[in-house]
Structure 1
């Protein structure tokens, strides 16, 4: 009984596959228009991406300089402690070690906050660039009647790569 049920299920599935193949056959008669876009290249080379990078550099340059100054202070304190350590009293050496540890913790905290803030702002700015790129891609797809545009692929033939066209649209202020 169980074997006959499995055989009948097999024939039912086979019949469904045959019906689906017959139904899908006319769809294959039309060739799909496909293109590809290199999103990484757009985020690296397009004018909006470069403008976003400049904006971030300007926005974070002051904090970056402050971090570098603090790092130099910590390094200077460490060098001074190493140099003066042998001649310092035990209490003075302990005080300077605490001061160095406090400064180092402060530097680590500020550096972590800086990285988190920078990453958040970078993600925001690049998200805006990607939104504009996606609008440009949709516009090109509608104009050139593409059925599918792929943004991530292992290999893309130059024949279907429209990255240059998207970048041209973005750089011209296209949305």
Structure 2
């Protein structure tokens, strides 16, 4: 019987000592990462930078497609009056143009994807660093990102992160990430 009372006493002592730890305020915040990545001025700058960088190559592909269409129209229009040799030459030229367009388009898409991933990685790093700085400045113990089922507005730090990103952003045509 005496051992039982000692066990109860030790249990009560343990529970009482744990109460202050339970009552300590834990600051938890949430950031909607996809919203921040979408609305950050650095994201718009990165998109614009990619558009400017790849516009000439895209225009080249469009010009190649117009040329191909012209060749196909010529062949369709004049096939009946062309000699077999001229017609076959035109058909080979069309096949070669199609291959060249396809190769150019594939290179374009590969290069664009690589550059887009580079810019996205830079932006994600900037957002991560901004969130960590905000969390430390405001004494948050835990900040969670996407894959949250519910977050009250009182713990949503997304707007504060966007405010900091806006404050950090200085438009510069030669540099999309600041």
C-alpha displacement of 1:28: 5.0
Pairwise mapping of residues 1-175 of structure 1 onto structure 2 (< 5 A)? 26=18, 29-30=23-24, 32-157=26-151, 158-173=153-168
Normalising to structure 1: TM-score of the pair? Answer: 0.77
Off by >4 Å, runs of 4+ in structure 1:
26-31
Aligned length: 153
Matches of 1:57 and 1:153, distance apart in 2? 31
1:72–1:155 CA distance, 2 compared to 1 (3 A): farther
Matches of 1:106 and 1:139, distance apart in 2? 49
SS in 2 for 1:41: helix
Matches of 1:131 and 1:156, distance apart in 2? 25
SS in 2 for 1:149: strand
- Structure 1 unpaired stretches of 5+: 1-21
> Do 1:36 and 1:156's aligned partners in 2 also have CA atoms closer than 8 Å?
no
1:114-173 deviations in Å (ceiling 9; x for gaps):
111111111111211111111110011112222222222253433322111111101111
Matches of 1:30 and 1:79, distance apart in 2? 78
1:28–1:83 CA distance, 2 compared to 1 (3 A): farther
* Correspondence for 2:175: none
